[in-house]
Structure 1
Amino acid sequence: MNTSVRQAVLQAGRALAVPEAVTEALIRRLRPCVYLCPCDEVPQGARPAARALGLPHLPEDVEVPSYRPHVVTIDCAAIPAGVLDIGFPADGHLVVLAEVSDYDEGDVIYLPAGTQTVQRHSQRKSHDSFPLYAVPGTTAPDDLHWSQVVEGGDAGLAGRVTKLIDEVREIPGVRWRYDIQLGGHSRAWHNPVEERGKVLFLSIPESELFGDGCITLVSGTREQIAERRYDELEFDVES
């Protein structure tokens, strides 16, 4: 977990008079992530970590449906090292093509560093591309309850832990949770990937650009992700 986020959680727990052992139990329920955010939300001079929308750049011999739009290309070397708790490439690029409205279809294509690419045309109208920047964050399960981090306890402690859980969701560093998210807990409305034995690889948010009214979740097993078996990942659109 990002050190500053961890310290913020500990400080919030102390302010609420929550025993530190209980706060630590809560921290163990959290999972780190990286948010890919627009440039006006990060310090000036930061290195772009991804390019959203526009046309994809791929090797000429890679076959992809021309109707499937480019969502994002991630510069893996620009993702902070040691933050994510899933296997993620240290270099190269990940190209994500996906239907983000009505169809559970998509591709995640890994390009090793130095791969020669060309701009690929599409049958779909494409928005202008724009840069995204990496911001470490943390996520909590949507169903996290005080009873999962403390056994027994009086009503007062239960109330303070509940308030701490609420505050964790608003700690600086997680306010970008509606941008593209790498790793962490999924924010599914109906069918969390964790309930199917999967972990979140990335999620594409509900937005006018990425899919108004829809969240796209890309998931797989830890082994599939670590071994870069990206063709086996599942795309789920929630609307």
Structure 2
Amino acid sequence: MATSPEVDDPTREYPTVPDEERHRPNGFARLLIFVGFVFALIVLACFGLRAINVLPSFDNPFEDRTIDRSQPVLLQSMRDLHRYVAADGTFQVIVDLQQEKENIPDFLVNRRTLFVGSGTVEAYVDFSALAGDALKIDEGKKSIELTLPPPQQSTAALDMAKSYVVAEERGLLNRIGDAFGDEPNKQQRVYQLAQERITEAARASELDRRAKENTQRMLESLFARLGYTTVTVTFASP
């Protein structure tokens, strides 16, 4: 039986592609290869510049960054001090402050803060308040009698590097309010209370007695260098 040419040779109307042209990449593939080669060169160049510290590190593209936009320090006032800081004391207080509303459940409106405050109080003698007859000198006996005002104490200065919030409880409405509005001074009451408690504790401590002793020793040493053998220091009543 005769065979039809159309059946025996189905692709005879399509031209034959040589093998060397069949394996040769087309124009789009060559473009991709070129772009990949250029990209590899750029990456290698970046690593080379980073190795010699020309480019910054790219290990974490989402690394945290701190931007300081603080304004320059403004000098508001200046004054001369005429006091001798004779002693200071460091105190620590635990403040447990709760703010709530009457007749409202705590799970709705409640703010309780547990705060550890550390502060320093200075005890000083103010020499600017000396009266005209406060100093009596006897050159023959090489003696000095000095009457000083009583020691004073400064307001406690909180050390924020050593003060911290241990825990804070908030009601549901407090949490919602904090989410939609920021109150920058909400911890101010806690700081003030810690400062007041430390100041009161310093008043009841022996800081004044220590200040008197240190002031007397300082003056005795000072006048001894000037040739005086007897130095009597008296503190006025508060």
Query: Which bracket does the TM-score occupy, shorter chain normalised?
Result: under 0.3
Q: TM-score of the superposition, structure 2-length normalised? A: 0.18
Higher relative contact order (CA 8 A, sep 6+): 1
Q: Which has the larger radius of gyration?
A: 2
